[in-house]
């Protein structure tokens, strides 16, 4: 398992408060199959970001090089807490173990901050 982070920047002209879990959806290259990542059980709070300040959150991801039982994301869509518009970025981290139907998958999202 690997942990990676995604940074979020306040591009507004006023301070903002952010906290909780972002929505994270993966979209595959083969047919656009969607995977909405589950949330960890970690506790969270909130933080205030001044203009141009940033914070991050982590993804735990289960990478694989196997030819069976895999999921190949092409895109990751991140919806910050209390927002409705997703930010779409190209998936740079590789092929995942396909655990979309697992009760406790090894690929999941952690809270902001």
The pLDDT tens digits of the residues spanning 39-87 come to 999 999 999 999 999 999 999 999 999 888 899 999 999 999 989 999 9
Please report, for residues 57, 69, 98, the alpha-carbon distance to residue 101 in angstroms, rounded to integers and kept in the order given.
Answer: 23, 12, 8
Determine how many CB atoms are found less than 10 A away from the CB of residue 88.
11
- Predicted pLDDT of residue 28: 87
- Predicted pLDDT of residue 30: 64
Cα 102 from Cα 100, distance rounded (Å): 6
**Is residue 31 very low, low, confident or very high in pLDDT (cuts 50, 70, 90)?**
low
pTM, two decimal places: 0.90
18, 11 contact by CB (below 8 A): no
60, 107 contact by CB (below 8 A): yes
Share of the chain above pLDDT 70, in %: 98
The average pLDDT across 29-42 equals: 88
> Residue 95 above 70 pLDDT?
yes
Count of alpha carbons within 13 Å of 33, Cβ hemisphere only?
Answer: 10
Cα 15 from Cα 80, distance rounded (Å): 15
């Amino acid at each position: 398992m690997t942990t990676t982070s995604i940074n979020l920047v306040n591009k507004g002209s006023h301070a903002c408060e952010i906290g909780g879990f972002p929505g994270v959806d993966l979209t595959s290259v083969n047919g656009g199959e969607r995977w909405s990542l589950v949330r960890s059980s970690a506790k969270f709070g909130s933080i205030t970001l001044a203009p141009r300040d940033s914070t991050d959150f982590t993804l735990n991801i289960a990478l694989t090089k196997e030819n069976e039982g895999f999921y190949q994301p092409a895109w990751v869509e991140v919806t910050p807490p209390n927002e409705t518009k997703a930010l779409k970025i190209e998936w740079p981290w590789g092929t995942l173990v396909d655990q979309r139907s697992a009760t406790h998958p090894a690929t999941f999202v952690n809270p902001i901050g």
